């Protein structure tokens, strides 16, 4: 789905076209739910987060700006933020470090099941980039991004100094950016 | 406690990941706006962070998810009808603004700073604004930064009937960035909508809801030929043309 299609469907949402909402959910529902589940330990709560994300898009379609990325990225960002808000308020919904890291390893190795249509190539690129950063960097980045941990919590959970946690996050992101840039340049 | 440049710089990656405390979020945000080096660093990480979301593989859509959302969406039917404006047609995409190569670098930096503010506020990152300690000093600093942005070359300053709120619309290579400070939350079921008056015709630049009085958006509509910018209160979702109270104008 390219940006002009994203804009077209968002325009229909602005016109209160319910079919457009249904189409958006059919296209991205599995992905949005998966993102919520990556963050929240409880599948029922993850489903609620996914519903909230779609309702937010329905109520404020104008908050999507095609300049800043695809509708898919936008929805995933909204979902992730909603899920993290939830785990920060409900400690019981926080995933364990082991669960987060295992899922990240599976993602970086492309072992996930039920692969669907949306952006497979882009996802493959990202997986390759993720697998290019070191295990300790990936662990820190995943705890922060999908686990909603602050760098202090990352440090405490991994039993490392706070400075080391900050360095791993920085180096992990820098390496990831570099890997993504190199791949983009090659294509 | 005032942190040194190096201490703040070490927090840029955690900040972009949303992995800092609310207090640090505010400190880093304030610093980035005034530090080109740190702003560039944050900007560099943001694409890596947003691409992390794409490592998630889709799962089966849970039974009932679509129907539950449709039911809630239909329950919204009593709300004011939302409208067309903020999403440009493809035809608008061809009207790419000419790169303002003559614009001094500080103008571009200001626009980049505004973009970051918008990115943070628009939820691209985790915002913890509600938990921030909004001291008078901090609010004054925020206001001053928006005022500085409004004074940069090519920018348009917006003011209102109340002195509390100020806004700035800054030209970028692909349109404009709008930031505002000091706006109260809109009334329930309403939102703020930004309008560009192009040859006297109001064109929607989009809607926004401020967080702790600060808000903003990006538009891909060229500011060339725009001689006035205004902000009105509109029903949630926005309106095709201005209908509500005008709260800010150039």
Predicted pLDDT at B1:
59
- B46-60 tens-digit pLDDT: 878 878 888 888 899
Is residue B148 over pLDDT 90? no
Domains of chain A by start residue, with CATH: 1-94 (1.10.1740.10), 95-187 (1.10.10.10)
User: pLDDT tens for residues B158-177?
Assistant: 887 666 788 888 877 677 88
Q: How far is B31 from chain A (nearest CA, A)?
A: 18
Which of B52, B71, B83 best probes binding to A when mutated, by most A CB atoms within 10 angstroms?
B52
Q: pLDDT band at B212, cuts 50/70/90? A: low
Of B76, B86, B174, the CB nearest to A59: B76
Mean pLDDT of the region B137-154: 68
pLDDT band, very low/low/confident/very high, at B88 (cuts 50, 70, 90):
very low
Chain B residues whose CB is inside 8 A of the A146 CB are: 52
Which one is predicted more confidently, A135 or B131?
Answer: A135
What mean pLDDT comes out for the span B203-224?
80
Contact between B14 and A69 using a beta-carbon 8 Å cutoff? no
**What ranges do the domains of chain B cover?**
79-109+152-249
Secondary structure (H, E, C), chain B: CCCCHHHHHCCHHHHHCCCCCHHHHHHHHHHHHHCHHHHHHHHHHHHHHHHHHHHCCCCCCCCCHHHHHHHHHHHHHHCCCCCCCCCCCHHHHCCCCCCCCCCCHHHHHHHHHHHHHHHHHCCCCCCCHHHCCCCHHHHHHHHHHHHHHHCCCCCEEEECCCCCCEEEEEEECCEEEEEEECCCCCCCCEEEEEEEEECCEEEEEEEECCECCEEEEEECCCCCCEEEEEEEEEECCCCCCCCCCEEEEC
Question: 0.80 cut: is pTM over it?
Answer: no
pLDDT > 70 fraction of chain B, expressed in percent and rounded:
70
Return the higher-pLDDT residue of A136 and B35.
A136
Question: What is the rounded end-to-end Cα distance, in angstroms, of chain A?
Answer: 19
pLDDT of residue B77: 64
To the nearest whole angstrom, how far is the Cα of B47 from the nearest Cα of chain A?
Answer: 7
pLDDT, one tens digit per residue, over A104-145 is 777 766 544 444 444 567 677 777 888 888 999 999 999 999
Tell whether B200 lies on the interface with A, counting CB pairs under 8 A. Answer: no
Angstroms from B55 CA to nearest CA on chain A: 6
Could B55 and A55 be called an inter-chain contact, meaning their C-beta atoms sit closer than 8 Å?
Answer: no
- Asked if B54 and A119 come within 8 Å (Cβ–Cβ), the reply is yes
Residue B78 pLDDT grade (very low, low, confident, very high; cuts 50, 70, 90): low
Amino acid B122: pLDDT: 40
pLDDT at B156 over 50: yes
Q: Which of A40-54, A87-101, B34-48 has the highest mean pLDDT?
A: A40-54
**What's the pLDDT score for residue A60?**
78
What pLDDT, on a 0 to 100 scale, did the predictor assign at position B32?
Answer: 80
The predicted pLDDT at position B104 comes to 32
Write down the mean pLDDT value for chain B: 72
**Taking 50 as the threshold, does the pLDDT of residue B71 lie above it?**
yes
CA of A16: how far to CAs of A11, A117, B190, B235, B243, in Å?
A: 9, 26, 16, 13, 19
With beta carbons under 8 A apart, name residues in chain A contacting B7: none
- A residues 31-90 closer than 8 Å to B (CB): 31, 33-35, 37-38, 43, 47, 50-51, 54-55, 58-69, 72-73, 76-78, 80-81, 84-85
The pLDDT score that the predictor gives to residue B98 is 24
Inter-chain touch B206–A174, beta carbons under 8 Å:
no
Which residues in chain A are contacts of B206 at CB distance < 8 A?
62-63, 65
pLDDT at res. A65: 75
Residues of chain A in contact with residue B14, where contact means CB-CB under 8 angstroms, are 144, 150-151, 165-166, 169
Q: Given this model, what pLDDT does residue A146 score?
A: 93
Q: Is the pLDDT of residue B127 over 90?
A: no
Q: Which pLDDT value is given to residue B113?
A: 58
CA distance B148 to B176: 16
Give the model's confidence band at B135: pLDDT under 50 very low, under 70 low, under 90 confident, else very high: very low
């Amino acid at each position: 789905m390219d940006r002009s299609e994203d804009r077209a469907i968002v325009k229909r949402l602005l016109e209160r076209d319910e079919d457009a909402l249904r189409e958006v959910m059919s296209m991205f529902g599995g992905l949005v739910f998966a993102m919520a589940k990556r963050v929240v330990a409880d599948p029922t709560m993850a489903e609620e987060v996914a519903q909230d994300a779609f309702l937010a898009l329905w109520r404020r379609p104008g908050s999507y700006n095609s300049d800043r990325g695809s509708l898919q990225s936008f929805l995933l960002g909204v979902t992730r933020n909603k899920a993290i808000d939830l785990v920060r308020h409900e400690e019981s919904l926080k995933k364990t470090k082991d669960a987060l890291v295992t899922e990240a390893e599976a993602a970086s190795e492309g072992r996930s099941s039920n692969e669907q249509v949306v952006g497979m190539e882009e996802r493959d690129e990202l997986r390759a980039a993720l697998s290019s950063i070191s295990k300790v960097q990936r662990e820190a980045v995943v705890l922060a991004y999908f686990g909603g941990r602050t760098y202090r919590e990352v440090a405490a959970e991994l039993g490392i100094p706070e400075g080391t946690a900050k360095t791993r996050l920085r180096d992990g992101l820098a390496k990831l950016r570099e890997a993504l840039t190199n791949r983009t340049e090659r294509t | 406690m005032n942190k040194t440049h190096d201490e703040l710089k070490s927090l840029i990656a955690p900040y972009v990941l949303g992995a800092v405390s609310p207090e640090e979020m505010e400190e880093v945000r304030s610093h980035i706006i005034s530090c080109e080096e740190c702003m560039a660093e944050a900007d560099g990480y943001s694409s890596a962070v947003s691409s992390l979301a794409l490592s998630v593989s889709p799962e089966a859509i849970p039974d009932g998810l679509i129907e539950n959302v449709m039911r809630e969406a239909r329950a919204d039917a009593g709300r004011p009808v939302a409208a067309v404006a903020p999403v440009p047609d493809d035809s608008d995409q061809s009207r790419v603004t000419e790169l303002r190569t003559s614009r001094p670098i500080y103008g571009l930096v200001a626009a980049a700073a505004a973009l970051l503010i918008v990115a943070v506020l628009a939820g691209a990152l985790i915002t913890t604004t509600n938990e921030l300690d909004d001291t008078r000093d901090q609010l004054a600093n925020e206001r001053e930064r928006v005022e500085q942005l409004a004074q940069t070359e090519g920018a348009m300053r917006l003011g209102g009937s109340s002195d509390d709120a100020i806004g700035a619309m800054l030209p970028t290579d692909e349109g404009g960035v709008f930031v505002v400070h000091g706006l109260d939350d809109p009334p329930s079921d309403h939102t703020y909508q930004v309008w560009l008056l192009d040859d006297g015709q109001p064109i929607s630049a989009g809607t926004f809801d401020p967080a702790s009085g600060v808000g903003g958006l990006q538009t891909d509509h060229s500011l060339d030929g725009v001689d006035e910018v205004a902000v009105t209160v509109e029903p949630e979702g926005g309106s095709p043309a201005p209908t509500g109270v005008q709260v800010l104008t150039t």
